[in-house]
Structure 1
Amino acid sequence: MSGLDIVETPSPNFNARDAEISMIVLHYTGMRSAEEALARLCDPLAEVSAHYLIDEDGTIHRLVAEDKRAWHAGKSHWRDIPNVNSASIGIELVNPGHEHGYREFPPAQMGSLIPLVAEIKERYGITRGNVVGHSDVAPARKEDPGELFNWHALARLRLALPRPTRNLVDPGWSDAGFMLALQRFGYDIDDAPAAVTAFQRRFRPEMIDGEIDRECCCLLLALLLPQPQGDD
Structure 2
Amino acid sequence: MKILIVPVILSLLAGCVTAPKGPQIDTTYNAKGQSSRARFLVLHYTVADKPASIKILTEQQVSAHYLLTDDPQPIIYRLVDETRSAYHAGVSSWKQYTQLNNSSIGIEIVNAGWKDTPQGRVYAPFPQAQMDALMVLVKDIVQRNGIAPENVLGHSDIAPLRKQDPGPLFPWARLAQEGLVLWPDANRVAVIRPIFDATLPDVAWFQRKLATHGYGIAQTGLLDNQTRTVLSAFQMKYRPRDIAGVPDAETATLLEVLTTPANAPLPVVLPPVITSPVPALPPAAAPAPVVPETAPAPAAPVPLPTPAMPAPVPTPVTPPVPSTP
Q: TM-score, normalised by structure 1?
A: 0.84
Task: Give the number of the structure with larger relative contact order, counting CA–CA contacts within 8 Å between residues 6 or more apart.
Answer: 1
- Of 104, 116, 121, the residue aligned with 2:142 is 121
Tell me, yes or no, if the aligned pair for 2:172 and 2:181 is still in contact at 8 Å.
yes
Give 1 or 2 for the bigger CA radius of gyration: 2
Partner of 2:20: none
Name which of 205, 215, 218 aligns with 2:253.
Answer: 218
Tell me if 1:67 matches 2:83: yes
In 2: Cα distance, 1:118 partner to 1:132 partner? 14
Deviation at 1:201, TM superposition (A): 0.9
1:8 corresponds to: none
SS of residue matched to 1:69:
coil
Partner of 1:107: 128
Matching residue of 1:49: 63
Q: Is 1:21–2:21 an aligned residue pair?
A: no
Matched with 2:94 is 78
What 5-or-longer segments of structure 2 have no aligned partner? 1-35, 117-121, 219-225, 264-325
Once the two structures are TM-superposed, the CA of residue 192 in structure 1 deviates from its matched residue by 1.7
Greater mean deviation of Cα atoms: 88-97 or 52-61 = 52-61
Deviates more, 1:167-176 or 1:214-223: 167-176
Aligned to 1:143: 164
**3-state secondary structure, aligned to 1:92:** strand
Paired with 1:227 and 1:128, the residues of 2 have a C-alpha distance of 14
Gaps of 5+ in 1: 1-18
- Give yes or no for contact 2:44–2:154 (8 Å, CA) kept in 1: yes
Per the alignment, residue 320 of structure 2 pairs with none
Per-residue deviation, residues 19-67 of structure 1 (Å, max 9, x unmatched): 9311000000011x11101101111xx3100000101132101110001
What percentage of aligned pairs have identical amino acids?
A: 41
Structure 1 residue 102: Cα displacement:
3.2
Aligned-partner Cα distance in 1 for 2:83–2:37: 9
The alpha-carbon distance between structure 1 residues 163 and 36, as it changes in their structure 2 partners (threshold 3 A), is farther
Contact 1:48 1:72 in 2 (8 A): yes
Shift of 1:163: 4.7
1:97-156: per-residue Cα shift (whole Å, max 9, x none)?
013973211111111111111111111111111001000100000000000000111110
Match of 2:153 among 119, 123, 132: 132
Q: Tell me how far apart the structure 2 counterparts of residues 82 and 20 of structure 1 sit (CA, whole Å).
A: 15
Is the CA contact (8 Å cut-off) linking 2:37 and 2:83 kept in structure 1?
Answer: no
| Match in the other structure for 2:110 | 94
Q: What residue number does 2:222 align with? A: none
Letter matched to residue 89 of structure 1: I
TM-score by length of 2: 0.61
Confirm or deny: 8 A CA contact 1:95 1:102 kept in the other structure. Answer: no
Give 1:225 shift: 2.7
Whole-Å Cα distance in 1 between the matches of residues 172 and 178 of structure 2? 10
- Counterpart of 2:186 in 1: which secondary structure? coil
Tell me how far 1:164 sits from its aligned partner. 4.3
Q: Alpha carbon RMSD of aligned pairs, Å?
A: 1.8
- Matched residue, 1:182: 210
Q: Which amino acid aligns with 1:49?
A: S
Match for 1:214: what amino acid?
A
Question: Which segment is superposed worse, 66-75 or 96-105?
Answer: 96-105
Q: Distance in 2 between matches of 1:165 and 1:138?
A: 27
Partner of 1:152: 173
Contact 1:30–1:99 (CA<8 Å) still a contact in 2? no
Counterparts in 2 of 1:108 and 1:163: CA distance versus 1, 3 Å: farther
Residue 144 to residue 51, structure 1, CA distance change in 2 (3 Å):
same
Q: Identify the residue that residue 193 of structure 1 maps to in structure 2.
A: 228
CA distance in 2, matches of 1:216, 1:148: 18
Deviates more, 1:143-152 or 1:173-182: 173-182
Partners of 1:227 and 1:25 in 2: CA distance = 24
Amino acid corresponding to residue 83 of structure 2 in structure 1: D
Secondary structure of 2:44 counterpart: strand
CA contact (8 A) 2:42 2:153 kept: yes
DSSP 3-state at the match of 2:77: strand
